[in-house]
Amino acid sequence: MKLSHPWLIAATFALAGFVFVGQSSFAQQDGAQNGGIEIIPVRGNVYLLAGAGANITLSVGPDGVLMVDTGSADMSAKVIAAINRFTREMNTFRQPAKRYEGGGGSGTVLTGMVPPKPIRFIINTNPLADHTGGNPALAAAGKTFTGGNVAGDLGDIGEGAAVLAHENLLQRLSDAKMPTRGLPTETYFGSQMKLSHFFNDEGVQLLHVPNAITDADSFVNFRVSDVISSGDIFDFSGYPPIDLARGGSVQGVLAGLNKMLEMVIPEFRSEGGTYVIPGHGRICDMADLAYYRDMVTIIRDRVQDGIKKNLTLDQIKAARPTEDWDGRFAKLPTQANTFVEVVYKSLTAVKK
């Protein structure tokens, strides 16, 4: 049969597109082509981009791209290329065939390779370099909505994606001499910030957790996809990388983990349901989050116990309060001691 009817051609391509997307072939075939970067579907419009430093969460859809964190600076070119390629392919296969309105020829042309979708928003969960290093390049590659509700506060930024974060993050990145292009264009103080309109068919919420990894942490809630992007408050590849010098504390990390646990809903028992994309590591669910919260709680309690017994930091370290989890979370033996030290210092810090 000759496929000459325009809608038949469209239908054939649509079907091919469905199979293409359904098999997530981007992630599986193209890891090498993308410099080790993988884009993995999570749910709805939400994807995980892995391999560029910290996990990057993407919302990709009709409104463009929103990204949570930008990875390391040295990975920016690869991240931009991977996102462009991904959105272009997605666009191409999801684009319905358009009626050709020009000369009176035979009807329909397929749109072929369409442009990639613009990066509209960047959200930062903390100021650490593996989360914000890509900011300048990614923000420059993006495009804000002109004249919309999200035009940046900083007038000289001009074009580029809007960068959203807690106000302390602006200070922290300024202190770290981040180029202006990579600094937040819109900040919030207090407990939360919401995008004022749906983006890719859902509400997106930033929630601040005071003094957790730093004093500038947010985690992000995708309300329809039911996905939380946690940042390093939940780092499933290791102990939480609390940065005391930048305002972090174990109490804050626990408060953040508990807050997320209040929000997640399992599908059955404690499995499935809400997905949590951790700062590092694989896609998680409530059971993983609860396991991690319990781990941090128990280590905190053990260190607290030692402090009550007037043990020194060295004595507490020697008692190995992290022993049960070191196989899983201490990539290097020193990381266990570092975490114990951070917990100890958090608990003994004099309140200012």
Q: Does 215 bind Zn ion (CB under 5 A)?
A: no
**Considering beta carbons, is residue 59 or 230 the nearer one to Zn ion?**
230
Separation in Å, CA 34 to CA 52, 55, 137, 181:
11, 15, 17, 25
Of 122-130, 158-166, 298-306, 344-352, which part binds Zn ion (CB under 5 A)? 122-130
Among 279, 295, 330, 344, binds Zn ion (CB under 5 A): 279
Q: What is the dihedral of CA 19, 79, 187, 254, to 10 degrees?
A: 80
Among 169, 192, 184, smallest CA distance to 138 is for 184
Q: Does 133 bind Zn ion (CB under 5 A)?
A: no
Contact in structure between 341 and 317 (CB atoms under 8 Å): yes
Q: Does 286 bind Zn ion (CB under 5 A)?
A: no
Q: Using CA of residue 316, residue 319, residue 322, residue 326, what is the dihedral sign?
A: positive
Number of residues binding to Zn ion, judged by CB under 5 A: 4
Of 76-84, 105-113, 228-236, 310-318, which part binds Zn ion (CB under 5 A)? 228-236
CA 322 to chain centre: 27
Count of residues for the chain?
352
Q: Which residues are paired to 187 by β-bridges?
A: 165
Q: What is the dihedral of CA 303, 320, 332, 254, to 10 degrees?
A: -30
Q: Does 232 bind Zn ion (CB under 5 A)?
A: yes
**Considering beta carbons, is residue 245 or 350 the nearer one to Zn ion?**
245
Q: How far is the CB of 161 from Zn ion (least distance, A)?
A: 21
Among 37, 42, 49, 54, binds Zn ion (CB under 5 A): 54
Q: How far is the CB of 181 from Zn ion (least distance, A)?
A: 22
* Number of helical (H) and strand (E) elements in the chain, helices listed first: 11, 14
Of 168-176, 220-228, 232-240, 325-333, which part binds Zn ion (CB under 5 A)? 232-240
**Considering beta carbons, is residue 279 or 306 the nearer one to Zn ion?**
279
Of 54-62, 86-94, 108-116, 293-301, which part binds Zn ion (CB under 5 A)? 54-62
Q: Does 89 bind Zn ion (CB under 5 A)?
A: no
Q: Which residues bind Zn ion (CB under 5 A)?
A: 54, 130, 232, 279
